[in-house]
């Protein structure tokens, strides 16, 4: 495959360097793509800065038209983008197709929002109005687990609000973003969106760049802390969507056979590489053995393979580093608990790990306390539900969590006690572009999606007039 150039100032340009992108299912090169130098990053920021005055002066309807046109082009090229996403990311083609068309839907959702002037007071003495103004150049930094949809948390609200963007995908999954750059080149005025690819070396200079007014970042907590430090000098706006260690609490009144498939999907979708995957499962002692057995049966039955092969339910880990990290955690989990399904797939290329179930394990072990970000689920036995809630809340993370029960009043009361940005009842990891999303504690700062997510790409400006 060729192409995969940078988009800078409306032009597709070669990188000053190139890099190989590896298919995690085969460990073979999918494509060699452009890799930007710091000089090219600076050109991209300069282009975005130059494009800002004219773009921010367009009407919101004009910007909506452009955002809808991007959605159209994503849909029109959906099959190609989905195949590319599977090849660079590893996820099954059906999931990749869902992500690509979901991306278009997220773009369209934002065109349903407006930014009207709000009149806060109109009295004899004064008129006070709240306006929402664009910020300027936005740096959008995306990780490798959902390269398309996570980009769609950022680009459409940034553009709708009148900002311009420099988009930087993760080094191991740049191809879909570069291809998107090519597809939208003629939809937007030059410089409004720029797409660069790096080898993990341009996130820091993008964050520190004096002409970038906000960083919208999704990735690990460790890198998020670096972004916060890098943005501090110039008091840049930041939105940080970071790691999580979501707990699910299962009450004794559920039917294990019926609930297990839902729990399984919550934990293992995208091979567990989901920020809001269920990463720790607390199950009441009265149904513990049965639930462990049900989940192990599902894990044993799952079809693992190359995402392009029909029937594949779970793909590989996305990159070698993550593969090694999860392998190490599984090895440790074998010492602190009992592995009843799964493990590394030996003697074949690709970063494959079967869905792994760990039982007889508890808080204080690495597999429970750390974010595994892979296909491993520790199941923890509890007898007192308040204790389970306290343990769920004891994590420094606070992205999501869930309660599972046939008694929704009881589940609601427990959901109220759990501390995280989102708590689901009898489901987990449901995202919708109209529902605000953000993390508590070390899972992040700020909000994405919904009207709140749009406001984060604006500056509040008050006009206060004497009468």
Q: Is 241 in the site for ligand NAD (CB under 6 A)?
A: yes
9 with 194: CB under 8 angstroms? yes
Site for ligand NAD (CB under 6 A): which residue of 102, 243, 305, 450? 243
Return the number of the residue (92 or 203) whose C-beta is nearest ligand NAD.
203
CB of 98 to ligand NAD, least distance (A): 16
DSSP letter string over 2-71?
A: ----EEETTEEE--SEEEEEE-TTT-SEEEEEEE--HHHHHHHHHHHHHHHHHHHTS-HHHHHHHHHHHH
Return the number of the residue (45 or 254) whose C-beta is nearest ligand NAD.
45
DSSP letter string over 374-432?
A: SSEEEEEEES-HHHHHHHHHTSSEESEEEEE-S-HHHHHHHHHHS-SSEEEES------
Q: Is 246 in the site for ligand NAD (CB under 6 A)?
A: no
Angle at the Cα of 175 (from 174 to 179), degrees rounded to 5?
120
460 with 118: CB under 8 angstroms? no
Site for ligand NAD (CB under 6 A): which residue of 219, 307, 375, 436? 219
Site for ligand NAD in 171-210 (CB under 6 A): 171, 200, 203-204, 207
Site for ligand NAD (CB under 6 A): which residue of 30, 33, 115, 141? 141
With CB under 6 A as the contact rule, which of the stretches 57-65, 120-128, 239-247, 332-340 interacts with ligand NAD?
Answer: 239-247
Total residues binding ligand NAD (CB under 6 A): 29
Q: Name the active-site residue from 33, 88, 99, 275.
A: 275
The crossing angle, in degrees rounded to 10, of helices 60-76 and 93-110 is 170
Site for ligand NAD (CB under 6 A): which residue of 104, 196, 389, 399? 399
From residue 259 to residue 298, the character string flagging contacts with ligand NAD as x (rule: CB under 6 A) and all else as - is: ----------------x-----------------------
Return the number of the residue (64 or 168) whose C-beta is nearest ligand NAD.
168
CB of 340 to ligand NAD, least distance (A): 25
Site for ligand NAD in 319-358 (CB under 6 A): none
Query: Integer distance in angstroms from the first to the last C-alpha of the chain?
Result: 65
E-strand spans in 183-236?
A: 193-195, 212-218
Site for ligand NAD (CB under 6 A): which residue of 177, 218, 270, 422? 218
Q: By Cβ distance, which residue is nearest to ligand NAD?
A: 203
CB of 183 to ligand NAD, least distance (A): 21
Does the annotation count 241 as an active-site position? Answer: yes
Q: How buried is 290 (Cβ within 10 angstroms: 0-12 exposed, 13-18 middle, 19+ buried)?
A: middle
DSSP letter string over 137-190?
A: EEEEE--SSSHHHHHTTTHHHHHHTT-EEEEE--TTS-HHHHHHHHHHTTTS-T
With CB under 6 A as the contact rule, which of the stretches 117-125, 242-250, 346-354, 449-457 interacts with ligand NAD?
Answer: 242-250
Return the number of the residue (144 or 264) whose C-beta is nearest ligand NAD.
144
Site for ligand NAD in 28-87 (CB under 6 A): none
Return the number of the residue (86 or 447) whose C-beta is nearest ligand NAD.
447
- Residue 295 tokens read as 């989940």
From residue 86 to residue 125, the character string flagging contacts with ligand NAD as x (rule: CB under 6 A) and all else as - is: ----------------------------------------
Site for ligand NAD in 367-386 (CB under 6 A): 371, 373
With CB under 6 A as the contact rule, which of the stretches 18-26, 121-129, 240-248, 379-387 interacts with ligand NAD?
Answer: 240-248
Question: Which long-range CB contacts under 8 A does 354-357 form with residues at least 24 apart?
Answer: 354/299, 354/302, 354/304, 355/264, 355/267, 355/268, 355/271, 355/272, 355/298, 355/299, 355/302, 355/304, 355/314, 356/299, 356/330, 357/292, 357/295, 357/296, 357/299
Strand partners, 238: 215
Return the number of the residue (35 or 108) whose C-beta is nearest ligand NAD.
35
Distance of CA 242 to the CA centre of its chain: 8
From residue 428 to residue 447, the character string flagging contacts with ligand NAD as x (rule: CB under 6 A) and all else as - is: -----------x----x---
Site for ligand NAD (CB under 6 A): which residue of 9, 32, 220, 336? 220
Q: Is 145 in the site for ligand NAD (CB under 6 A)?
A: yes
Site for ligand NAD (CB under 6 A): which residue of 160, 167, 170, 389? 170
Question: Which long-range CB contacts under 8 A does 297-303 form with residues at least 24 apart?
Answer: 297/341, 298/260, 298/261, 298/264, 298/355, 299/264, 299/268, 299/341, 299/342, 299/354, 299/355, 299/356, 299/357, 300/341, 302/268, 302/354, 302/355
Return the number of the residue (266 or 405) whose C-beta is nearest ligand NAD.
266
C-alpha–C-alpha distance, residues 426 and 405, integer Å:
7
User: Interface with ligand NAD by CB under 6 A: which residues?
Assistant: 141-145, 150, 168, 170-171, 200, 203-204, 207, 218-220, 223, 226-227, 241-244, 275, 371, 373, 399, 439, 444
Catalytic residues: 241, 275
């Amino acid at each position: 495959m060729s192409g995969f150039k940078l988009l800078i100032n409306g032009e597709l340009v070669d990188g000053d360097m190139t890099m190989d992108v590896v298919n995690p299912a085969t460990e073979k090169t999918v494509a060699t793509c452009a890799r930007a130098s710091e000089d090219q990053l600076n050109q991209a920021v300069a282009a975005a800065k130059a494009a800002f005055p004219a773009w921010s002066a367009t009407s919101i309807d004009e910007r909506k038209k452009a955002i809808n046109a991007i959605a159209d082009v994503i849909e029109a090229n959906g099959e190609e983008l989905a195949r590319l996403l599977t090849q660079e990311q590893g996820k099954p083609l059906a999931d990749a197709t869902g992500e690509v068309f979901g991306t278009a839907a997220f773009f369209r959702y934002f065109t349903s929002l407006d930014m009207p002037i709000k009149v806060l007071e109109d009295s004899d003495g004064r008129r006070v109005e709240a306006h929402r103004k664009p910020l300027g150049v936005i740096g959008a930094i995306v990780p490798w687990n959902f390269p398309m949809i996570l980009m769609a948390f950022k680009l459409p609200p940034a553009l709708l609000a009148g900002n311009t963007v420099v988009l930087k995908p993760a080094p191991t999954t740049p191809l879909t973003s570069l291809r998107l750059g090519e597809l939208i080149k003629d939809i937007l005025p030059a410089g409004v969106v720029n797409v660069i690819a790096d080898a993990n070396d341009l996130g820091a200079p993008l964050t520190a760049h004096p002409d970038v007014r906000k960083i919208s970042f999704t990735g690990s907590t460790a890198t998020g802390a670096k972004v916060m430090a890098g943005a501090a000098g110039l008091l840049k706006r930041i939105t940080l969507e970071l790691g999580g260690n979501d707990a699910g609490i299962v009450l004794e009144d559920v039917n294990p056979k019926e609930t297990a498939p839902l729990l399984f999907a919550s934990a293992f979708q995208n091979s567990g590489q989901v920020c809001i995957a269920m990463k720790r499962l607390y199950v009441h002692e009265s149904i513990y053995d049965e639930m462990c057995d049900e989940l192990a049966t599902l894990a044993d039955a799952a079809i693992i393979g190359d995402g392009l092969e029909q029937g594949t339910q779970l793909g590989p880990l996305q990159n070698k580093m993550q593969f090694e990290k999860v392998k190490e955690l599984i090895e440790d989990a074998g010492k602190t608990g009992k592995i009843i399904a799964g493990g590394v797939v030996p003697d074949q290329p690709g970063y494959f790990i079967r869905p792994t179930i760990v039982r007889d394990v508890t808080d204080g072990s690495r597999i429970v306390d750390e974010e595994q970000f892979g296909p491993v689920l520790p199941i923890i036995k509890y007898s007192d539900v308040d204790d389970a809630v306290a343990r769920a809340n004891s994590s420094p993370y606070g992205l999501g969590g869930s309660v599972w029960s046939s008694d929704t009043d009881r589940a609601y009361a427990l959901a109220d006690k759990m501390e995280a940005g989102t708590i689901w009842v009898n489901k987990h990891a449901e995202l919708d572009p109209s529902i605000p999303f953000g993390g508590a504690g070390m899972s992040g700062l700020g909000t994405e999606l919904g009207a709140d997510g749009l406001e984060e790409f604006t500056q509040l400006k008050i006009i206060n007039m004497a009468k």
